[in-house]
Structure 1
Amino acid sequence: MELTPIDSSMAMYEASKTKLPDENEDLRDAAEKFEAIFLHQFLKDARKTKLADDLFGSHAKSTYEDMLDQEHADIMSKKIDLGIAEALVRQFDKSAM
């Protein structure tokens, strides 16, 4: 099957349309990372509220819990839309001015 010039130009147009660079990609990435930092701080503060002392608590356990909270925050920021990232993008978007 041979492509005609019209077919090949349409194929190139479709390929370029799906690969359009997002002008705010860096801004959106930074905003989403900020949202993850916010969630991490939220999880860390929630973990501090304990009803009783931990019998097996140690520095290693708290380090592990902090890393786990960071990973949970990263995952939650990708799956849950809090609106913080979108608000930051709208606030700092120079092309919208």
Structure 2
Amino acid sequence: MKVYNVYILRCRDKTYYTGITSDLWERVEQYQSGKYNNSYTSSRRPIELVYYCEFTEPELAIEFEKRIKKWSQAKKEALINGEFEKLPNLAKKRFK
């Protein structure tokens, strides 16, 4: 059974990069080594893998990756820190 990983990398500039792969450790090494010269992470190395989860269905992995990419930095940090109870409130729009 093939496994798909959705992952979050923390870049040197404290931004996050979210992606999906079927070979997590190879992908992290590719980013760290600068294999993708024009990628978001290329000029923000070193990177650190701060979160990943596994899926057996690629459609679900793609859906989750797209959802995370739309999240705020605060919501991503709650996920990374395992503070799942904070996720619903961080999804709510703040009105002034």
Q: Is the radius of gyration larger for structure 1 or structure 2?
A: 1
User: Greater relative contact order: 1 or 2 (C-alpha under 8 angstroms, separation 6 or more)?
Assistant: 1
* TM-score (norm: length of structure 2): 0.24
Select the structure that is richer in helix. Answer: 1
